[in-house]
Amino acid sequence: GDSVTQMEGPVTLSEEAFLTINCTYTATGYPSLFWYVQYPGEGLQLLLKATKADDKGSNKGFEATYRKETTSFHLEKGSVQVSDSAVYFCALRKTGNQFYFGTGTSLTVIP
Amino acid sequence: NAGVTQTPKFRVLKTGQSMTLLCAQDMNHEYMYWYRQDPGMGLRLIHYSVGEGTTAKGEVPDGYNVSRLKKQNFLLGLESAAPSQTSVYFCASNLAGGSSYEQYFGPGTRLTVT
Protein backbone atom coordinates (compact mmCIF):
# COMPACT_ATOMS: atom_id res chain seq x y z
CA GLY A 1 0.00 0.00 0.00
CA ASP A 2 0.90 3.66 -0.15
CA SER A 3 3.14 4.99 2.60
CA VAL A 4 5.63 7.65 3.61
CA THR A 5 8.84 7.06 5.55
CA GLN A 6 10.78 9.92 7.04
CA MET A 7 13.93 10.04 9.10
CA GLU A 8 13.48 9.67 12.80
CA GLY A 9 14.44 12.45 15.10
CA PRO A 10 14.95 14.26 17.14
CA VAL A 11 17.34 16.45 15.20
CA THR A 12 19.33 19.13 17.00
CA LEU A 13 21.26 21.75 15.04
CA SER A 14 23.10 24.95 15.78
CA GLU A 15 21.77 28.16 14.30
CA GLU A 16 22.89 28.68 10.67
CA ALA A 17 23.58 24.98 10.13
CA PHE A 18 22.38 23.12 7.04
CA LEU A 19 19.24 21.02 7.43
CA THR A 20 18.20 17.86 5.61
CA ILE A 21 15.21 15.76 6.61
CA ASN A 22 14.85 12.66 4.47
CA CYS A 23 11.50 11.49 3.13
CA THR A 24 10.80 8.55 0.83
CA TYR A 25 7.46 7.32 -0.37
CA THR A 26 5.77 4.25 -1.78
CA ALA A 27 2.86 4.84 -4.10
CA THR A 28 1.45 3.75 -7.40
CA GLY A 29 0.57 6.37 -9.94
CA TYR A 30 1.50 10.04 -9.58
CA PRO A 31 0.95 11.40 -6.09
CA SER A 32 1.41 14.96 -4.94
CA LEU A 33 3.93 15.43 -2.13
CA PHE A 34 3.79 17.83 0.79
CA TRP A 35 5.81 19.03 3.75
CA TYR A 36 3.87 20.27 6.76
CA VAL A 37 5.26 22.01 9.83
CA GLN A 38 3.81 21.91 13.35
CA TYR A 39 4.92 24.52 15.86
CA PRO A 40 4.48 23.77 19.56
CA GLY A 41 0.84 23.76 20.61
CA GLU A 42 -0.48 24.34 17.09
CA GLY A 43 -1.96 22.41 14.20
CA LEU A 44 -0.12 21.41 11.07
CA GLN A 45 0.53 24.08 8.45
CA LEU A 46 1.49 23.51 4.85
CA LEU A 47 5.15 24.40 4.30
CA LEU A 48 5.55 23.47 0.64
CA LYS A 49 4.33 21.06 -1.98
CA ALA A 50 5.19 19.55 -5.37
CA THR A 51 2.63 18.02 -7.67
CA LYS A 52 4.71 16.26 -10.32
CA ALA A 53 8.12 14.74 -10.88
CA ASP A 54 11.08 17.16 -10.86
CA ASP A 55 8.99 19.95 -9.37
CA LYS A 56 10.68 21.90 -6.60
CA GLY A 57 8.57 23.27 -3.80
CA SER A 58 9.95 26.16 -1.79
CA ASN A 59 8.87 28.44 1.04
CA LYS A 60 10.58 30.42 3.84
CA GLY A 61 14.02 29.21 2.70
CA PHE A 62 12.99 25.55 2.72
CA GLU A 63 13.13 23.49 -0.47
CA ALA A 64 12.22 19.96 -1.56
CA THR A 65 12.44 18.35 -4.98
CA TYR A 66 10.10 15.60 -6.14
CA ARG A 67 12.39 12.79 -7.31
CA LYS A 68 10.44 10.02 -8.96
CA GLU A 69 13.50 7.92 -9.76
CA THR A 70 14.43 7.67 -6.07
CA THR A 71 10.86 8.11 -4.75
CA SER A 72 12.10 10.85 -2.46
CA PHE A 73 11.11 14.35 -1.33
CA HIS A 74 13.87 15.45 1.05
CA LEU A 75 13.45 18.75 2.90
CA GLU A 76 16.45 21.12 2.96
CA LYS A 77 17.32 24.53 4.31
CA GLY A 78 20.66 26.20 3.96
CA SER A 79 20.74 28.08 7.25
CA VAL A 80 18.31 27.23 10.03
CA GLN A 81 17.09 29.67 12.66
CA VAL A 82 15.86 29.15 16.21
CA SER A 83 12.36 29.95 14.93
CA ASP A 84 12.50 26.85 12.68
CA SER A 85 12.27 24.60 15.74
CA ALA A 86 9.18 22.50 15.10
CA VAL A 87 8.00 19.06 14.00
CA TYR A 88 8.08 18.42 10.25
CA PHE A 89 5.79 15.96 8.48
CA CYS A 90 6.13 14.58 4.98
CA ALA A 91 2.88 13.54 3.27
CA LEU A 92 1.50 12.29 -0.01
CA ARG A 93 -1.87 12.41 -1.68
CA LYS A 94 -3.22 10.69 -4.73
CA THR A 95 -6.47 11.51 -6.44
CA GLY A 96 -9.15 10.75 -3.93
CA ASN A 97 -9.57 11.41 -0.27
CA GLN A 98 -6.62 9.71 1.37
CA PHE A 99 -3.53 11.46 2.69
CA TYR A 100 -0.56 9.50 4.01
CA PHE A 101 1.66 11.16 6.62
CA GLY A 102 5.08 10.26 7.91
CA THR A 103 5.59 9.99 11.65
CA GLY A 104 7.16 13.43 11.92
CA THR A 105 10.70 14.65 12.64
CA SER A 106 11.33 16.97 15.57
CA LEU A 107 13.86 19.73 14.93
CA THR A 108 15.45 21.84 17.64
CA VAL A 109 17.73 24.71 16.66
CA ILE A 110 20.00 26.05 19.39
CA PRO A 111 21.52 29.55 19.37
CA ASN B 1 -11.86 33.48 6.55
CA ALA B 2 -11.42 31.56 9.80
CA GLY B 3 -10.25 28.36 8.08
CA VAL B 4 -10.71 25.27 10.26
CA THR B 5 -11.80 25.81 13.85
CA GLN B 6 -12.18 23.28 16.65
CA THR B 7 -14.15 23.39 19.88
CA PRO B 8 -13.13 22.95 22.67
CA LYS B 9 -9.37 23.52 22.88
CA PHE B 10 -8.92 21.53 26.07
CA ARG B 11 -11.05 19.03 27.95
CA VAL B 12 -10.65 16.67 30.87
CA LEU B 13 -13.04 13.73 31.14
CA LYS B 14 -13.50 10.95 33.63
CA THR B 15 -13.57 7.38 32.35
CA GLY B 16 -17.02 6.53 31.02
CA GLN B 17 -18.09 10.10 30.31
CA SER B 18 -19.11 11.19 26.86
CA MET B 19 -18.34 14.28 24.81
CA THR B 20 -18.51 15.72 21.31
CA LEU B 21 -15.75 17.60 19.54
CA LEU B 22 -16.87 20.10 16.94
CA CYS B 23 -14.99 20.98 13.78
CA ALA B 24 -16.09 23.76 11.46
CA GLN B 25 -14.63 24.99 8.17
CA ASP B 26 -15.63 27.98 6.08
CA MET B 27 -13.77 27.08 2.88
CA ASN B 28 -16.56 25.02 1.29
CA HIS B 29 -14.38 21.91 1.38
CA GLU B 30 -15.98 18.61 0.50
CA TYR B 31 -13.65 16.36 2.49
CA MET B 32 -13.19 16.45 6.26
CA TYR B 33 -11.13 14.28 8.60
CA TRP B 34 -10.48 13.54 12.24
CA TYR B 35 -6.97 12.52 13.32
CA ARG B 36 -5.41 11.77 16.65
CA GLN B 37 -1.79 12.55 17.43
CA ASP B 38 0.12 10.59 20.04
CA PRO B 39 3.82 10.86 20.92
CA GLY B 40 5.99 8.88 18.51
CA MET B 41 3.05 7.78 16.36
CA GLY B 42 2.44 10.72 14.06
CA LEU B 43 -1.10 11.27 12.84
CA ARG B 44 -3.61 8.45 12.76
CA LEU B 45 -6.88 8.79 10.87
CA ILE B 46 -9.98 8.10 12.94
CA HIS B 47 -12.87 8.83 10.56
CA TYR B 48 -13.39 10.91 7.48
CA SER B 49 -16.19 12.26 5.30
CA VAL B 50 -16.28 12.89 1.57
CA GLY B 51 -19.46 14.93 1.68
CA GLU B 52 -22.48 16.00 3.64
CA GLY B 53 -24.28 12.99 5.08
CA THR B 54 -21.41 10.57 4.45
CA THR B 55 -18.81 9.16 6.83
CA ALA B 56 -16.24 6.37 6.69
CA LYS B 57 -13.83 4.62 9.03
CA GLY B 58 -10.15 5.37 9.08
CA GLU B 59 -7.26 3.54 10.67
CA VAL B 60 -8.36 3.74 14.35
CA PRO B 61 -12.18 4.15 14.47
CA ASP B 62 -13.02 2.06 17.54
CA GLY B 63 -14.60 4.01 20.40
CA TYR B 64 -15.50 6.99 18.20
CA ASN B 65 -18.49 8.02 16.14
CA VAL B 66 -18.87 10.89 13.70
CA SER B 67 -21.56 12.82 11.92
CA ARG B 68 -21.60 15.28 9.03
CA LEU B 69 -25.08 16.75 8.94
CA LYS B 70 -23.90 20.00 7.36
CA LYS B 71 -21.11 20.42 4.84
CA GLN B 72 -19.20 22.85 7.03
CA ASN B 73 -19.32 20.79 10.26
CA PHE B 74 -17.82 17.45 11.25
CA LEU B 75 -18.51 16.13 14.76
CA LEU B 76 -16.47 13.53 16.62
CA GLY B 77 -18.16 11.76 19.50
CA LEU B 78 -16.79 9.66 22.33
CA GLU B 79 -19.64 7.70 23.90
CA SER B 80 -17.72 6.23 26.82
CA ALA B 81 -14.28 7.74 27.20
CA ALA B 82 -11.29 5.58 28.13
CA PRO B 83 -7.78 6.60 29.26
CA SER B 84 -6.44 5.24 25.94
CA GLN B 85 -8.29 8.08 24.22
CA THR B 86 -6.11 10.67 25.91
CA SER B 87 -4.61 12.42 22.91
CA VAL B 88 -4.53 15.55 20.80
CA TYR B 89 -7.27 15.54 18.18
CA PHE B 90 -6.98 17.39 14.90
CA CYS B 91 -9.63 18.12 12.36
CA ALA B 92 -8.66 18.75 8.72
CA SER B 93 -10.38 19.52 5.46
CA ASN B 94 -9.57 19.81 1.78
CA LEU B 95 -11.12 20.25 -1.61
CA ALA B 96 -12.07 17.21 -3.63
CA GLY B 97 -10.72 16.63 -7.09
CA GLY B 98 -7.08 16.45 -8.04
CA SER B 99 -4.24 15.34 -5.81
CA SER B 100 -2.66 18.80 -5.62
CA TYR B 101 -5.08 20.17 -3.04
CA GLU B 102 -3.54 20.25 0.41
CA GLN B 103 -5.22 19.62 3.75
CA TYR B 104 -5.95 22.47 6.13
CA PHE B 105 -5.75 21.70 9.82
CA GLY B 106 -7.47 23.07 12.88
CA PRO B 107 -5.51 24.07 16.01
CA GLY B 108 -6.29 20.84 17.87
CA THR B 109 -8.17 19.69 20.96
CA ARG B 110 -6.17 18.32 23.86
CA LEU B 111 -8.22 15.66 25.63
CA THR B 112 -7.27 13.99 28.88
CA VAL B 113 -9.25 11.03 30.20
CA THR B 114 -8.62 10.16 33.84
Q: What pLDDT, on the 0 to 100 scale, is given for residue B75?
A: 98
Please state, for a pLDDT cut of 70, what percent of chain A lies above it.
100
Quote the pLDDT of residue B8.
97
- Nearest CA distance, B15 vs chain A (angstrom): 25
CB nearest A103 (choices: B41, B50, B94): B41
**For A43, which of B94, B100, B108 is closest by C-beta distance?**
B108
Which residues have C-beta within 8 Å of that of residue B64, sequence separation ≥ 6?
A: B34, B46, B47, B76, B77, B78
For residue B100, the model assigns a pLDDT of: 77
Whether residue A95 is predicted with pLDDT greater than 80 in this model: the reply is no
What stretches in chain B show pLDDT beneath 70?
none
Give A27-62 pLDDT, tens digit per residue.
Answer: 988 899 999 999 998 999 999 999 999 999 999 999
Which class for B42: exposed (0-12), middle (13-18), buried (19 or more C-beta within 10 A)? Answer: middle
Asked if B102's CB is within 8 angstroms of A49's CB, the reply is yes
For A76-91, write each residue's pLDDT tens digit.
999 999 999 999 999 9
Give A7's pLDDT tier (boundaries 50, 70, 90).
confident
Do B101 and B3 touch, CB atoms closer than 8 A? no
Asked if the model's pLDDT at residue A68 lies above 90, the reply is yes
